[in-house]
Amino acid sequence: MFAPPRTIVQRDAGLYALERALQRRGFRIVAGADEAGRGACAGPLVVGAAILPEGKRGEIAGLTDSKLLSAATRERLYDEVVARAVAWSVVIIEPGEVDGRGLHVCNLAGMRRALASLAVSPQYVLTDGFGVDGLSAPGLAVWKGDRVAACVAAASIVAKVTRDRIMVDLHERYPEYGFAEHKGYSTPDHQAALRSHGPSPVHRYSYANVAAALGDASGGGTVAVSGVAARSPLALGDNVGMEGGQA
């Protein structure tokens, strides 16, 4: 069991302070990991990982929690992150896997996979919100890590932009749900579409609102949610799995 280095960093010390402190302690290669789509009831769970270079090249203007940014700003920052990163990766977890294994189990497994698939092995790992066991490097969970650690913010950008692009693609296949607008999150319009059309193959059937809509669509009859595992995969083509880069 690795113990984190005894370093005190103020939360308002800046987005790069924690990584710089770790680097001064000898952990030169620091990776961040974060997910997108945890709260959505449709579409994949996407996990990103990123290692930014030391020094000025790793400082990306405007970098922060992806949820605080406009779509256009996220796209711009995505291009900068993948261009500058020492290494980055993304893992896409289908809704059927989320239903079958559970959200949190999939989230942890996705972080492990994303970090393991980095082209450069990290010496230390920062994760957003909760710790991840089974890593090959020591790590630290950071509350709201995507707002206080640059590598976690970079990972959140990679995950969010990847997922948003997938949801726009899924909108073309299932336009009646409005995925391009709400990206699979539960909104009044999304709920209305679920009531009108029932769930699509890319909804998460283990979620209460989707299961309720499935029951409504069946005329109030009993529906075996366990049967969802037999539905076709997300059918994202080449998007499914992992991809990554190395600067």
Strands, E, within 52-133: which ranges?
A: 87-93, 124-128
β 45-51/30-36 pair status: antiparallel
For the annotated binding site for a divalent metal cation, the residues are 34-35, 128
Written as one letter, the residue type at 59 is E
Do the beta carbons of residue 42 and residue 200 sit within 8 Å? yes
For the annotated binding site, the residues are 34-35, 128
pLDDT of residue 146: 84
Nearest to 46 by CA among 126, 133, 156, 125: 156
Q: Which residue has tokens 């005894």?
A: 6
Residue 235: left if φ>0, alpha if ψ -120 to 50, beta else—which one?
A: left
Q: What is the DSSP string of 132-171?
A: --S-SS-EEEETTHHHH-HHHHHHHHHHHHHHHHHHHHHH
Q: Is 176 exposed, middle or buried (0-12, 13-18, 19+ CB in 10 A)?
A: exposed
User: What count of residues does the chain have?
Assistant: 247
Q: What is the pTM of this model?
A: 0.85
Residues of the chain with pLDDT under 50: 1, 8-9, 11, 220-232, 235-243, 247
pLDDT of residue 155: 97
Cα(26)–Cα(223) distance, integer angstroms? 55
Asked whether the CA dihedral 182, 184, 190, 196 is positive or negative, the reply is positive
pLDDT of residue 224: 36
CB atoms within 10 A of CB 36: 27
Asked whether the CA dihedral 121, 51, 93, 214 is positive or negative, the reply is positive
pLDDT of residue 214: 84
pLDDT of residue 144: 86
Domains of the chain: 17-168 (3.30.420.10), 177-230 (no CATH)
pLDDT of residue 217: 56
Residue 109: left if φ>0, alpha if ψ -120 to 50, beta else—which one?
A: alpha
The residues pairing with 32 across neighbouring beta strands, listed in sequence order, are 50, 126
